[in-house]
Structure 1
Amino acid sequence: MVAFDDLLHARLGGMQDAVNDWSETVKKLKTLQEKAENGMQRKAEKADWKGQNAGVTRPFIKKTAKEFGDAAKEAESIRNILRDAHHEFKAAKDKLKKIVDDAPKQGIHIDPDGTVGYLVHPDRRPKGYDGPKPKEGEFDRVRADIKEAVSAATEADETAARALRTLTGKDENNFSGTEYRSLKQAAHAQDAEDAKAAAKLVAKGDGASSEEIARLNKYFTDNKGDAYFAERFALEVGVKGNLDYWVDMGDPSDGSRLAVDHQKQIKELQQNWSMTLAEATHSHSPAMERWKSDVISSGTDVVQSRGTSAYGFQVMSNLMRHGSFDTKFLKDYGSAVTVAERRMTHDGGLRPGQVWNAGLGMPPHLNWDGKDLGRDPMAGFMEALGHNSKASTDFFNSKIEVPSDGHGDHKPVDAFKYFTKDRAWVEDTYKDGYGTKYGYDSLGHALESAATGHAYDAPTEGLKDTRTLDNAKVVQKIVGFYGSDPKFSHEQGISDSLGKIGSAYIDEFNRSMEQESIDSMRETRNSPFGANLPDGTSRFGTHYNDNLLFNSGDAVNYLSIVSQSKEGHALLSAAQTVYTAHTLGVVGPDPTANELKNTDLTDAHTMVRVSAETHGILDHSRMGQIDQDYADDSEEKKKAIAQSSEWIKFGTEAVVGGGLTIATEGAAGPFVPLIADTVGSAVVSGLGMYTDEAAEDHAENMDRELKKKYDDLQADTLARGKEYTQMPVDAYCDAPGWSEENRNFIQEDLTGLLKDSRLHFGDSDLPDPYKKKDD
């Protein structure tokens, strides 16, 4: 790994000198090669030698002449490698130097080891400081640029080093004759060599040793993200080899101890293998197009090992759980596996669990991540959709045609309706027991991806709000379905995913909540909410400039039902709090304004009212569900009530949609689309102080809270919820710039409105808590 400081101060003049020297050497060796081939070798071939001269001297001269040619090839290859490596190093160094030179202009300092920080920290800025004030997004961009430059230099360094070792060879008496026209060609040659070596280890199946599996994993990790290696590996192993290997690995009947004694290695291997195949599917070479087609056509084939068997779809779906597979491939695969299931079940006449293993031998262990055994092909496919938002969005907005097989009519399958409502998910052994929970978890991941426009587990760094109308269409379906009856989210157990989706659209939920009519799909005029672009129009298209994604009735139902769960309540409460704080800073009066008019407070009033009502819905819904789930005054019930306030520990690191965050520095979170604004940022930073103190106080007093009587604890917890709802208002009023008179006026005005609005929704206005079925 090339170090940041080494690259920044690298002296590349010596390398250029070496390139020049080798260029001269190439010229000289080519001259010698020409003389050897046209002179010495040609004369030897024409000579009428007999005896030992004919049997020894002529081959020796021919071999010697060839060595001159090999020497010239090797020298030219060394020159080419050094030339291209020098070019890559120089480009990386120049980029890094520009990053370092430009950083101070952005108010950013870069340490000698590449650590990024403030040029002048906010705590040390003098009064009246007017220099640059970088946001978290700017830090992220600089870090990403540094990483890109260092990675490019590292890749060039490692490729060049390996190529030079190959060129010099192990034979001290002969030139290798290897020829590289460029560093890129050398990299491809290395990839092909690694892919062949990996395929040889795969051919050993579960007869390989633990050391050989470790070597196979190393081939994958060393070539992570390398498209050429991925394609070569997929083609070297082939579709059949791919399927056979994993059925054999999961067959306990053949006496192999590899998967029994080294499950951690096999788990790592499955993940690496999946990510490699994902990379390979992005190639559109004729060979890879055939590979993808063969994978799909093999889906209904039975793959047999000594004592187990599985369908191709079952095997392949477990090799799709990691990495982002090609969008078209996923769509084709999803349609094919859905059609296969509908045909096998005779359009729902049988349950999927009855057919995927029907008539086969004992099913193999196909999934090694510890979540389930991999029996249901739809679970792995959903995980694949969860890592490709475009494919997931398209899939859940699609209807899949099921061609007739001569046994009745086959109606198109509405993908969203089928997988969320109609399908009976396959029961399997999973980490917490036996059932369908694992499958619904994967469904939740796919829905997160389809709704948010990002992989469900995407790292937060550098993500932007990329939601589209197609994403919004999926969310409309999610809100309509899961907000229609609490049994769906509770029985499927995906409130965490639904909470993240709700957080991702918290702006649109606020927009809907502003509308007093529960049925109206029209926006309240001049709403301060909504996923608007800088020009004020909706990112979901002109229709939504004035119209809502969902009416307030559906919004209330969804928010209430999702927040009945601990996870949903925490996620939505945190998102609403941060969204309120930032939006207050954006739409409320500027603290530096000298005069305040009542009309200046219109949007601030709207924000506070809607936020208070929303928090009231969330808190009362959670309390209602706790009342349903636990016996009165039980220790478990009191603990659940006390824990309902723990969402505050998120502080301003609020989890918002698909694992995304809003940073304490006030950068707008990618899934809470806020206008970048100095006051808004300051309010979020101020909120952080309140939430940190509240979280600390809550933790310290937990034991004392649990000693209270149930009624008192419930009343105190709801009162604490009111205090937490107040925090964005307090943070706004604490923003720098207010005069004492204006601050007091704003504080009293907004606080009074907040308390009145909090009472707007009562238990009678909300969906009933979920009642479990009697066993």
Structure 2
Amino acid sequence: MLKFDQVLHARLGGLDQAVTAWGETVSKLTKTKEKAETGLRTKSDKADWKGQNAGVTQEFVRKTAKEFGDALTEATSIRNILRDAHGEFKAAKSALEKCVTEAPGKGIRIDPDGTVSHLIHPDRRAKDYDGPKPTEADFEAMRSAIKAALDRANDADDVASRALRGLVGKDKNDFSGTNYESLKAASKAQDAEDAKKAYDLYKKGDDASPKEIDELNALFKANAEDPYFAERFALEVGPKGSLQYWADMGDPSDGSRLGADHRDKLAELQKNWSLTLASATHSHSPEMEQWKADLIKAGAEPIQTRGTHPYGFQVMSNLMRVGDFDDAFLKDYGTGLLATERKLTYDGRLPADRAWQQMGGMTGHLNWQGGGLGQDPMVGFMESLGHNPKAATDFFNGDVDLTPEDTKDDKKLDAFDYLTKDRKWPDEIDDKGDLSKEPGYDALGHALEAATTGHSYDADPEDLKDARTKETAEVMQKVVERYGSDPKYMHEQPGIDDSLGKMGAAYIDELNRSLETDFDTATEEKKNSPFGFDDGKGHSRFGSEFDTKLLWNRGDAVNFMGIVSQSESGHATLSQAEMLYTSSVLDEVGPKPGSHFGEKDLTDARTTLRIGSEAQGIMDESRMAQIDKDYEKDSEEHKKAVGRTTEWVKFGVGAVAAGGVAALTGGAGGALVPLATETVGGAVVTFLGMEADDIAEKYEKDELLKKKSDDLRDEALAMGKENALRPGIAYANAPGWSETDRNYLDEELVNYVRSARTHSRDNSLPDPYEKD
């Protein structure tokens, strides 16, 4: 793998000379080939050979003449590979040189390893600094340009090295005669060769040895980002071939030991197969378009193995749990899946599990990645949407045509309503043999995360940016309306609460806008609000109508935040998000540390802290009420649950903050939190650097169990109140304030906001959920 400095400082003179030398060799061999064919071979063919010479010498001459032709072909291929590789390396090197040259003028520094950062960090700029101030978009563009150049060089290096080894390493006594007109042609030839190898291993089915499964996984990995390989493999195997193969792999009746002894290899194979098919769906060749149509058609048909007969949709949904599938394909697939389910359940009159039960047969093991055996195809499809944000957003914002084959019948199904309210999600058999609905609702949550945030639910926190749009906000409006309307939706959908917390975190700015209004039914933003405008021009990213209009009213915001905070994970995620967002707004709207300010200058700061404190009060009160409902007072479980209500502070310290976004890193992927500042500094940095472990670990286990639940509850709420004030404390103690100003801010802001906490109790909070 070539690194940034290697490509930037690459000396290409030797490679250029090699191209020239091989070009000269091609010219010489061209003349030699002509002499061999017109001289040596022609004379040999015309000679009147007698005896043994007729069968030996003449054949030897013909073979020798052919070798000159093969030598020319091989030399030409080497020349072509070196020529094109030189061109690719040169272009990549030039692209990096351009980045390095242009970076300082944009206020960007590029380190020797290719890392980009501020040329002069905002915290170190002089007050009169008037140089370039790069935005996150500038950094992203520079990173993308560097990555593209490195990818170009590495792709050329990989293809060229493999092609050259293949050309010269097959037989020391025989020229290969392989013809590569270009580096691109060599790449395609290698892909086709790998696809054929993979196909040969595929044909072994579950008779393959563990070593052969490793070889198949290695081929998938080596071609992970190669669309031509993916298409060739998909076409070689065929849509029904993939379904049949994977159904056979999960058939428990045929005696294969792969599933019993090598589950990890099958889990890896499932992932790699999914990634390969995902890449293949982006091809729009006539053959692949037909492949996609045939696959969806096969979804409604049983796939017969020795002991099982799952539907094609059940099999395929487990081969699409990871990877970036084509959006149009996912839409068609989802339409086919829902239409089939509604048909098999008599338009929903039967529960969904009746559609996918394998009556009279054994249960196949279709999913090896955890979270159920894979019998419910909606689970795998939701996981796929969870990795394909645009497709997820379109899916939950649209209706599904239940009769796509009938142009006269316009029967529609609201996808969001069906999956979040009407569908009775089946129990899945997990690896331990227990029945649970959690895999399904967990996957539904992942799909909704992608649909509302614009990111894959498990995206790398370092790569998160604010990707929300009007369309994602429309899905979020539905989420708030559904899950904020009644606690039963969250509590009766086990596994979705952590996703709801992440979705709330991603819209914490809009929730704050709603909380600021005076009435529960108000739909217009409070005038001169410090919250909400985040496109850099004083407008909402969700459209100009939302400059003053709210995504939801105050009552809806209180209900949603309250219900989500009844969950331990929901409470933790929303609390972290609220603290980070409040801190960032203080950075943006409060007087800058060291500046002169008056009473009017503190208005927005007071508002920011008041709403942040009230929001935390809503969340804390809701969580405490649910704990009281779930556990018996003074029980060990009750005390432990109360003790954990403050532990979220730990995770806030580990947040990744950059470019107007913070990513909470406490779970899989990261919860995106929009910040009010484009560059993070001041109070936010101060807050993130605060020692929080001591706060969170105030309750040692032994001490916790000695106390009464009511006393412990009061202490935890008091601690929650203090935690809500921490953004204000951090702001007042930010570097730059004089001792006088620091004391004044602490008095005017922190103490002022303490009373705002009690206002949370004036809200009509949602009732805690009571289990049957």
- TM-score by length of structure 1 reads 0.92
Q: Structure 1 residues 14, 764: CA separation in 2 closer, same or farther (over 3 Å shift)?
A: closer
Instruction: Give the deviation of 1:743 after TM superposition.
Output: 3.2
Distance in 2 between residues matched to 1:404 and 1:291, nearest whole Å:
18
The residue identity in structure 1 corresponding to 2:692 is: A
8 Å Cα contact 1:347-1:410 kept in structure 2: no
**For residues 697-756 of structure 1, what are the alpha-carbon distances to aligned partners after superposition, in whole Å with 9 as ceiling and x for unaligned?**
432642334432222211111111111111111111223333444333332221233112
The residue that corresponds to 2:586 in the other structure is 584
Q: Distance in 2 between matches of 1:696 and 1:98?
A: 49
Moved more, 749-758 or 86-95: 86-95
Residues 701 and 632 of structure 1: is their aligned pair in 2 closer, same or farther, counting only changes over 3 Å? closer
Match of 1:698 in 2: 696
- What per-residue deviation string (whole Å, max 9, x for no partner) do you get for residues 89-115 of structure 1? 23333444555566677474635x667
SS, match of residue 303 in structure 2: strand
Contact preservation (8 Å) 2:510, 2:550 = yes
After TM superposition, list the pairs within 5 Å mapping 1:67-146 onto structure 2.
67-99=67-99, 106=107, 108=109, 110-111=111-112
Cα offsets for 1:487-520 (capped at 9, x unmatched): 1111112110000000000011011111111112
Give the drift of 1:26: 0.6
Q: Conserved in 2, the CA contact under 8 Å of 1:331 and 1:391?
A: yes
> Alpha carbons of 1:477 and 1:714: their partners in 2 closer, same or farther (altered >3 Å)?
same
Counterparts of 1:403 and 1:329, CA distance in 2? 17
**Could you say which residue in structure 2 is the equivalent of 1:535?**
537
Residue aligned with 1:681, SS: coil
Query: Which position in structure 1 is the counterpart of 2:753?
Result: 754
- Mapped to 1, the partners of 2:689 and 2:132 lie a distance apart of 24
> Counterpart in 1 of 2:673?
672
Are the structure 2 counterparts of residues 699 and 551 from structure 1 closer, same or farther at C-alpha, using a change threshold of 3 Å? same
* Distance of 1:68 and 1:401 partners within structure 2: 64
Q: Helix, strand or coil: the match of 2:747?
A: helix
- 1:378: Cα distance to partner? 0.3
SS in 1 for 2:527: coil
The corresponding residue for 2:492 is 491
What does residue 15 of structure 2 align with? 15
Return the letter of the residue paired with 2:243.
Answer: L
Q: Distance in 1 between matches of 2:528 and 2:278?
A: 46
Residue in 2 aligned with 1:457?
458
- Structure 1 counterpart of 2:727: 728
Question: Taking structure 1 as reference, are residues 129 and 150 closer, same or farther at Cα in structure 2, changes over 3 Å only?
Answer: farther
SS at the partner of 2:576?
helix
1:654 shift after superposition = 4.0
Give the corresponding residue for 1:647: 648
Show the counterpart of 1:350. 350
State the TM-score, normalizing by the size of structure 2.
Answer: 0.92
Instruction: Name the CA distance, whole Å, in 2 between partners of 1:121 and 1:469.
Output: 33
Residues 587 and 537 (structure 1), Cα distance of their counterparts in 2 relative to 1, 3 Å cut: same
Report the CA distance between 1:286 and its aligned residue: 0.9
**How far apart, CA to CA, are the structure 1 residues paired with 2:69 and 2:698?**
80
Partner residue of 1:60? 60
Cross-structure match for 1:619: 620
Cα offset for 1:243? 0.8
Alignment partner for residue 575 of structure 1, among 557, 573, 577?
577
Kept in 2: contact 1:397–1:416 (CA 8 A): yes
Distance 2:561 2:641 in 1: 19
8 Å Cα contact 1:489/1:495 also seen in 2:
yes
Q: Secondary structure at the match of 1:14?
A: helix
SS in 2 for 1:519: coil
Q: CA deviation at 1:451?
A: 0.4
Separation in structure 2 between the aligned mates of residue 529 and residue 629 of structure 1, nearest angstrom: 35
Which position in structure 2 is the counterpart of 1:324? 324
User: Does the 8 Å contact 2:136/2:678 carry over to 1?
Assistant: no
- Change in Cα spacing, 1:746 to 1:137, as seen in structure 2 (3 Å) is farther
Deviations 1:174-209 (A, max 9, x none): 211101111111111111101110111111011000
Q: SS at 1:762's partner residue?
A: helix
- In structure 2, the partner of 1:374 is 374
Q: Distance in 1 between matches of 2:404 and 2:263?
A: 43
- Equivalent position SS for 2:10: coil
Q: Which amino acid aligns with 1:289?
A: E
Tell me the distance in 2 between the aligned counterparts of 1:760 and 1:240. 62
Q: Which amino acid aligns with 1:161?
A: S
CA RMSD of aligned residues (A): 2.9
Distance in 2, Cα, partners of 1:180 & 1:697:
67
Question: Contact between 1:344 and 1:355, CA under 8 Å: does it hold in 2?
Answer: yes
Aligned residues of 1:633 and 1:709 also touching (Cα < 8 A): yes
Contact 2:393 2:451 in 1 (8 A): yes
What is the one-letter code of the residue matched to 2:250? Answer: G
Amino acid at match of 2:707: K
Residues 591 and 735 in structure 1, CA contact (< 8 A), matched pair in contact too: yes
Provide the residue aligned with 2:448 in structure 1. Answer: 447
1:422 maps to: 422
How many residues are treated as equivalent by the alignment? 760
| Paired residue secondary structure (1:527) | coil
Paired amino acid for 1:423: R
In structure 2, the CA distance between the partners of 1:448 and 1:634, relative to structure 1 (3 Å rule), is same
- For 1:673 and 1:764, locate their aligned partners in 2 and report how far apart those are by CA, in whole Å: 25
Look up the match of 2:602.
601
Alignment check: 8 A CA contact 2:230 2:276 kept: yes
Question: Residues 664 and 672 of structure 2 are in contact (CA less than 8 Å); yes or no, is this contact kept in structure 1?
Answer: no
Counterpart amino acid of residue 17 in structure 1: Q
Q: Displacement, 1:220?
A: 0.8
Indicate the larger mover: 351-360 or 715-724. 351-360
State the distance in 2 between where 1:63 and 1:395 align.
64
User: Which of 550, 567, 570 lines up with 1:548 in the alignment?
Assistant: 550
Q: Where in structure 2 are there 5+ consecutive unaligned residues? A: none
Most deviating of 128-137 and 236-245: 128-137
How many Å separate the matches in 1 of 2:417 and 2:651?
34
Change (3 A) 1:616 1:431: farther
Contact 1:706–1:713 under 8 Å retained in 2: no
Partner of residue 501 from structure 1, selected from 500, 503, 514: 503
Hey, what does 1:220 align to over in structure 2? 220
Specify the SS of the correspondent of 1:304: coil
Contact 2:650-2:693 at 8 Å conserved across structures: yes
Mapped partners of 1:543, 1:119: distance in 2: 38
Could you tell me whether the CA contact under 8 Å between 2:648 and 2:696 is conserved in 1?
Answer: no
Residue 655 (structure 1) shift: 8.2
Shift of 1:446: 0.3
Residue equivalent to 1:337:
337
> What SS does structure 2 have at the residue aligned with 1:461?
helix
Residues 409 and 64 of structure 1: CA distance in aligned 2, closer, same or farther (over 3 Å) = closer
Task: Within 5 Å, give how 1:175-254 maps onto structure 2.
Answer: 175-254=175-254
CA contact under 8 A between 1:571 and 1:655: conserved in structure 2?
no
The residue type equivalent to 1:462 in the other structure is: D
What secondary structure, in the 3-state scheme, does the structure 2 residue paired with 1:672 have?
Answer: strand
Aligned to 1:396: 396
Contact 2:453 2:468 in 1 (8 A): yes
1:609 is displaced (CA, Å) by 1.5
Structure-2 separation of matches of 1:400 and 1:133: 47
Q: Where in structure 1 are there 5+ consecutive unaligned residues?
A: none
What secondary structure, in the 3-state scheme, does the structure 1 residue paired with 2:394 have?
helix
Change (3 A) 1:208 1:311: same
> Whole-Å Cα distance in 1 between the matches of residues 671 and 306 of structure 2?
51
Aligned partner letter, 1:733: A
Q: Which amino acid aligns with 2:510?
A: E
Cα gap change, 1:518 to 1:244, in 2 (>3 Å): same
Letter of the structure 2 residue corresponding to residue 721 of structure 1: G
Give 1:12 deviation, angstroms: 1.9
1:539 to partner: Cα distance: 1.1
Q: How far off is 1:541 after superposition?
A: 1.1
Contact in 2 for aligned 1:531/1:673 (Cα 8 Å): no
